[in-house]
Every structure is written in C-alpha cells, then in structure tokens.
Amino acid sequence: MSNLTSDDVLRALKTIVDPDRNKDVVALGLIQGLQVKDGHVSFAIEVSPTEGLAKEPLRLAAEKAVLALKGARSVTAVLTAHKTAASAPPRRAGLNAQLQAEAQPRAGAAERQGPPGVKAVIAVASGKGGVGKSTVAVNLAVALSKLGRKVGLLDADIYGPSIPRMLGLTGKPTSKDGKKLQPMEAWGLKAISIGSLIDEDQPMIWRGPMVMTALTQLIYDVEWAPLDVLVVDMPPGTGDAQLTLAQRVPLAGAIIVSTPQDIALIDARKGLAMFKKTHVPVFGIVENMSTFVCPNCGHESHIFGHGGARETAAKLGTDFLGEIPLHIAIRETSDGGTPITARDPGSAQAQAFFALAERIIAKLDAGDGRTAPRIVME
C-alpha cells in the first residue's frame, strides 16, 4: 500500500513552472482529472491547441517530479487540448466535469470537424476483445489501400494495442516541428499506434478521460493528410472510452466485428446500440472466424457456429458485411507483421477482406457515411 495523496502530488506539481507564463502549472489551473490510487498517479495538463506537443517538456518534467515522490509507483501525464473556446470547460472543473457537461443536450450541438485533410474516419469496433477486430482493421486498411485509396490506420486499442506487431512496426513516431507527430508507414498505410507511444512495462492506469485525451490527440495532432480514409481500431467493448470517442470524433461509419457465437453477438448488439445512441451510422456487422477450412483435407467446419452475424444483422436492421474464414494463414501473417492482404492478396482469405473493402468503398461513395456529420449529444 502507498500513502501518497492528491495533495502530495499537487505540492510536487507546484514546482513545475510553465516558462511561457512564468507560473506553476497548478496556479495556472492546468492540472485536470488528477487520480491517485495506491501510488499510481494519472492527470492531464491542459494546453492550448496551438501549443500541442510543444509542451511535451512540461509534461515530462511534471511526470518526473511526481515520480520522485515517496510512494509514487507509476505516473501517467497526458497533454490535453481543447479545440474551441466554446467547448472548453471551466478551469479546474476537471475532465470528468467536462465529460458530464458534454453528455448534456446542447442547443445547436457543435459541428465537429474531422482531422484536416482526411475525407472520412471509420471505426472498427467489437463488443468484446479477442474476436479479431484488429485483424479486420489491419486487413481492411491494406485492402482499401490496394484498391487505390489513401489510407491511415489508428490503433486506439488502449487495452491491447496490436497494430505494431501486425504491421511489423518498430520504433516510435517522430515529430518534425515538435507539434504534430509524423505517422509511421507500412504496407502502403500511414499508421500510428497508441502502443508505440506508451512504455509497455508501465501499468495501464489510464482511465476514461485520460484515455480519451490521448486518443483525441492521436486523431488531431498527427500529420495524417492527405487521406481518403482513416481506419480507427477502437478499444473493445462499449464503455465510457468508446462512447466518448464516438462522440468526439466525426465518424463516417462504424463496422462491428463479431464471431458467430451467441455470446459475441450479444456484445455486438451492445456495440450497435452504442453507435446508434451517438448517431454514428453503422455500416454493418462482419462475421470473423466464420468457416474453418481444413488446410489438409479441405473439409469445412463451423467451429464457432455459422451465420449468427447475418441473422443478427437482419434482426437489427443493419447490413451484413461478409464472412472472414478462420484460417491459420490469417493468424500467422497477422502475428508475423505481414498482413495476408499484402502477403498473399490472391488467396481466398485475403479476397474476403477485399470484398469487405469494396463494400465499405461503396458505402463511403454512396454517402452512407458522412464526412463531417453532426454529432448530437444525448
């Protein structure tokens, strides 16, 4: 047990002076969402959108000062920028208060702009982890790119970022101007993973608001442009983080990945309900790990059942976007850093992803999704 308190942390933060304003970060009211739990500390530092990552040294100094405290086991500090004066919360109100305020109905809800130079942002979501959401996101992104679109991939799965492994990315993204991050490049995609920015050994203590701040930065403070599509690999589930992401970012549409079993489908239904609630158009449901074709004898089996996603989609009045077979080549290529759509685009497994990509292109071109939809808070 650690006896570290919020007051101890604030005292340490009072020693951190913002050189541009010559006052400490606490006096300036920049510290938000402070949480201290058994020596694990997290907070956000509010900066103006124009300052962005230029304030990184301030963040590092704050983290260091808190980590030096007796009883501090881990510290996570993130920079948060509010885009408009209208959406900025009162200083010192804290991110929780801001989120609550945003959840209230607002007259003429703000028209949120997507990242500049990005025509459409789409989300790949799932009701629970382990259903192949990241595998679908990666292969869909590569397939879209091979079909001639300029594509970015944002790994927003804070609980298990797997895109660096799946794309074979190593190292960290860099910044030319100290404000915007340069995306990394692989298989024709621009890609950024929250996994490349966090220390894997650091406990993942980011909670709702903290996570949201980091994710919003990865959408707005990365040099994505020009892009036709930015594919976001969402965190699994339908909790606060997912809901807020859906509220904060103008999504052209969402794709829900499910395995055929009933239990996964129940979760998929929750995912669908979440997007409906935030008025994000749902492009439809993809059934992953659908048919298993034995690599030795060609026999087809339905290990997790079959057709459940198609039935659920029909019942819920959303589209069925296709089936991705359960195949060892998909797992081996994903885990080996060479997605099957890049490694063996002619294979039946890759073709399933190309068929999905074509459906998504048709939906984007038909305007089923919206490039800058109105996000209505409920």
**Rule CB under 6 A: which residues touch ligand ADP?**
126, 129-135, 160, 162, 236, 288-289, 324, 326-327, 330-331, 334-335
Nearer to ligand ADP, 72 or 350 (CB): 350
Nearer to ligand ADP, 39 or 337 (CB): 337
Closest-CB residue for ligand ADP?
132
Least distance (Å) between residue 233 CB and ligand ADP:
7
Residue 94 parent element (H or E): helix 94-103
Least distance (Å) between residue 367 CB and ligand ADP:
29
Tokens of 319: 């589209």
Nearer to ligand ADP, 11 or 165 (CB): 165
Q: Which residue type, as a one-letter code, is found at position 50?
A: T
Per the DSSP assignment, residues forming a β-bridge with 232 are 123, 154
Please name which of 221, 204, 198, 232 lies closest in space to residue 82, comparing C-alpha atoms.
221
Least distance (Å) between residue 331 CB and ligand ADP:
3
How far apart CA 95 and CA 269 sit, in angstroms, is: 29
Least distance (Å) between residue 355 CB and ligand ADP:
14
Token pair 């959401």: residue: 133
Helix axes 240-248, 208-220, angle to 10 degrees: 30
Least distance (Å) between residue 335 CB and ligand ADP:
5
Nearer to ligand ADP, 78 or 286 (CB): 286
For 167-186, give one letter per residue: b (16+ CB within 10 A) or e.
bebeeebebeeebebebbeb
Classify residue 255 by burial, with Cβ atoms within 10 Å: 0-12, 13-18, 19+: buried
Least distance (Å) between residue 84 CB and ligand ADP:
33
Least distance (Å) between residue 333 CB and ligand ADP:
8
Nearer to ligand ADP, 320 or 368 (CB): 320
Nearer to ligand ADP, 74 or 349 (CB): 349
Residue 193, C-beta contacts closer than 8 angstroms, at least 6 positions apart: 154, 155, 161, 163, 164, 169
Least distance (Å) between residue 260 CB and ligand ADP:
11
Nearer to ligand ADP, 252 or 324 (CB): 324
Nearer to ligand ADP, 208 or 337 (CB): 337
Per the DSSP assignment, residues forming a β-bridge with 46 are 80
DSSP string, 209-245: HHHHHHHHHHHHSB---SEEEEEEEPPSSSSHHHHHH
